[in-house]
Structure 1
Amino acid sequence: MPTTHPPPTPDPHHGPDDERRARITLTRILEPGDDNTGRWLRTYGATRLLHHLTHEDTPLPGITPQRLAGLRNRATTTHPETDLHTAHTTGARFLIPTDPEWPSQLRDLGDAQPVGLWVRGNADLRIWALRSVALVGARACTEYGAHMAAKLAAGLAEHGWVVVSGGAYGIDGAAHRATLAAGGATAAILANGVDTAYPRGHTGLLQRIAEQGLLIAELPPGAHPTAYRFIQRNRIIAALTRGTLVIEAAHRSGALVTARNAARLGRHTMGVPGPATSSQSAGVHQLLRGEATLVTDAAEVIELIGEMGQLAPEQRGPVIPRDLLKPLATRVLAALPAGRPTPAATIATDAATTPDDTIASLYELQSLGFVERHGDNWKLTRQTTRSDFPRREDKREDT
């Protein structure tokens, strides 16, 4: 189970505005997901930690002098008022853990919990997160992967679930677009500032998400993405949602990082299988051999992450008339060889039953259109002969 920590006790010498301002400043100084700096925040609180980072006469434990000097150098370049103004002009707000809108499940991250979140959009993040599921996968996805992402996202949206992804090319983009097209709710967790469109090719899509859904980032306005920040972003996706579904991922994939984070946090992990020969599905198949559950449609996802009793329909083929036959009639039908009229006594022997029971079953089968009588012999009808019911070959030679 995840380790959780209560929020730090507020400093009585500082008000809520000081706490928020300090956390805004810290998003410029600290890198996301650092357990070490998270322990500082838990121990000192935001305002005292900021004081430690801006005054060289106050040491901090568990960090090299060089690293501490780098953080303090960053602290000299911060301008929280500018960040707030930039956020305001783009319609964004800054949330901290004491805000009513803060999703409590983020506390499952322990010391890796975000310092704060920049949120762009009108929806309430806490309410949306309560009924959300992550859809993630390969950027260079196949047509099959994009199709499955769109199908699943649209299905989840139609059932009132919020679809969360990372705003990237490939599976992320397909999931976001399908959700919006279905009139559903979607949120993108970014590895950069909420005022910056990345990737550039998704400028229009991200703008639509900002208008109809939510853009979320722990990095301040104007911040650029890095490989490390993408990886750390994935822990937010995993913690925020009820479960993570992976659609196409190679053995080395950020989507697998998200799924494994979800598993460590006690969330559901799911995967959509692909061709056994596809390298783009190899990582998903690895997950499915371990902690993940195989799913193929939205109903199966909801069965896992939804309320008790929301069961997916049983997947089975269509019911055909022969499925309704009694066991004895089924045996008699299977005993008739294809292509020639056969005596009832021979059929009885092959069906391992008595001649009288065989005759009774043959008349029943005749009334249902499976067999026809030819004098004292019986034969399959043309319709039955052409059906997919497995027939015993007639090995006897013509005389």
Structure 2
Amino acid sequence: MIAGPGVPHELAERALRLAEAGVTSGEVSRVAARLGGTAEAEAVLAALERRRGSPLPAPAAVDALRGIGGRVELVGAPGYPARLATLWPDGGAPLWLFTRVDRDTGDLPQGPAVAVVGTRTPTAAGIDMARWIGRVLARAAVTVVSGLARGIDQAAHEGALAAGGATVGVLGAGLDVDYPRGDGPLRARVAAAGGLVTELPCGCRPRAWQFLARNRIIAGMTDATVVVEGRSRSGALATAQRAAEQGREVYAVPGSPLSAASAAPNELLRDGAIPVTCPDDVLSGVQVPEHGHVGPEGDETPARRAPPRDALAREVWDLLGAAPTDPDALVRATGRMAAEVLGAVARLVTEGFAERTAQGIVAR
């Protein structure tokens, strides 16, 4: 079954054939605009088929999508991301999405979501910041959305995974394409923790314009976008600009004016973006549910645990994840004396926020 919830199989196959035939998002938008009104998915598919001629059946494409556990989601159906659907048809939302969700529910995460994006050539500080933001957002039951590119994107995904939270990767290629090459294990972990999303059919190789188109999906699926690092005229800057056009909040991490990696966030800050010096700056603007949420393994967990009251203990706790962290690394990251950090760790352990293991300190 390649059809998502509420999508008739026949419509799913028609969408897949049109995607295989090379129908672009721009073409879809033009056809939808001519139809006017709500432009229901079936009517747009029919109009595209009249314009193109009904594409031939594509059994190989169906088999490829089915082989990786992928599904077709159409706008207006229950499995289509709700925030993105509000941008149809005038705001650039895709008519169709191809998704791979390896969670028990088979559905993309619901609830608050934040995009964390940035450059493929980050500084060490940028990587640390992206992981920190991803980890803290995930602990608060906020889904972390990014593009799975090496650098800031992958660091944000890894932070969310370390916290055992939900994260979604939006791809600029087909679901079955190994891009970035060799990063299949990370894509599999993201698929199991939240899901993979693309508007491109299986077998579609990455091209530069596809990543710019992909950015509107990242922004559209989320309540806010955070730019950690990025150069002028970068994809991260384009994502933030799309978020602003869509009426979503834009956050940026301030950086040195002498650093090319901070050109994009600094430009956004000049234009009115909200500055981010710690993850709580983002959380304070996102409506986090009070009830529990279903974690990646289907277990019910608290949506947001009250953080430690002590400031240093809270800083150390934010640095911890599911993977053991060496105390020396905590000392370096905080810039505090070893005795102070070890004291904070002791308080976290006593209060049930952390646990000592033979390999290091882990969050609980």
Q: TM-score, normalised by structure 2?
A: 0.70
2: distance between equivalents of 1:210 and 1:308? 23
Query: Contact between 2:142 and 2:288, CA under 8 Å: does it hold in 1?
Result: no
Give 1:51's aligned amino acid. R
Q: Report what 1:236 is aligned to.
A: 217
1:292 to 269, 273, 285: 273
1:270 aligns with 2:263: no
More helix by share: 1
Equivalent residues in 2 for 1:36-185 (5 A)?
A: 36-39=30-33, 42=39, 44-54=43-53, 75=55, 79-109=57-87, 110-111=89-90, 112-123=92-103, 128-185=109-166
Q: CA deviation at 1:100?
A: 1.2
- Structure 1 residues 6-64: Cα deviation after superposition (integer angstroms, max 9, x where no partner): xxxxxxxxx94433222122222312344324435748421242133117xxxxxxxxx
Q: d(CA) in 1 for partners of 2:115 and 2:215? A: 10
CA change 1:181–1:170 in 2 (3 A) is same
Looking at structure 1, the residues matched to 158 and 245 of structure 2 have their Cα atoms a distance apart, in angstroms, of 29
Name the amino acid aligned to 1:135: V
Consecutive unaligned residues in structure 2, runs of 5 or more: 1-6, 291-303, 313-364
Name the structure 1 match of 2:24.
31
Matched, 1:248 2:226: no
1:79 CA displacement: 4.0
User: Residue 210 of structure 1 aligns with which residue?
Assistant: 191
In structure 1, how many angstroms separate the alpha carbons of the residues matched to 2:31 and 2:183? Answer: 33
Could you tell me which amino acid in structure 2 is paired with residue 90 of structure 1?
I
8 Å CA contact retained: 2:169, 2:190: yes
CA 1:231–1:37: 2 relative to 1, 3 Å: farther
For the pair 1:18 / 2:10, whether they are aligned, the reply is: yes
Distance 1:38 1:125, change over 3 A: farther
Query: Does structure 1 conserve the Cα–Cα contact (< 8 Å) formed by 2:131 and 2:159?
Result: yes
Q: In the TM superposition, what is the alpha-carbon distance from 1:107 to its structure 2 partner?
A: 3.1
Report the Cα offset of residue 307 of structure 1: 4.9
Change (3 A) 1:93 1:255: same
Residue 30 of structure 1 aligns to which amino acid in structure 2?
V
Q: Percent identity?
A: 35
> How far off its partner does 1:126 sit?
7.0
Unaligned runs of 5+ in 1: 1-14, 56-74, 319-399
CA contact (8 A) 1:135 1:244 kept: yes
Could you tell me how far apart the structure 1 residues matched to 2:196 and 2:202 are?
A: 12
Partner of residue 330, structure 2: none
**Higher Cα Rg, which structure:** 1
Greater CA drift, 192-201 or 240-249: 192-201
Is the alpha carbon distance of 1:291 and 1:271 closer, same or farther for their aligned partners in structure 2, counting shifts above 3 Å? Answer: same
Whether the 8 Å contact between 1:32 and 1:229 is mirrored in structure 2 is no
2:47 and 2:8 map into 1 onto residues whose CA distance is: 13
Residue pair 2:140, 2:288 contacting (<8 A) in 1 also: no
- 1:95 aligned partner, one-letter code: E
Equivalent residue letter for 1:247: V
Aligned to 1:333: none
In 2 relative to 1, CA 307–17 (structure 1 residues): closer, same or farther, beyond 3 Å?
closer
**Structure 1 length normalisation: TM-score?**
0.65
**Number of aligned positions between the proteins:** 280
CA RMSD after TM alignment: 2.7
Aligned to 1:371: none
Distance (Å, rounded) in 1 between the aligned partners of 2:70 and 2:208: 24
1:236-271 C-alpha deviation (Å, 9 max, x unpaired): 000100100000111110001100111111111000
Structure number with higher relative contact order (C-alpha < 8 Å, ≥ 6 residues apart): 2
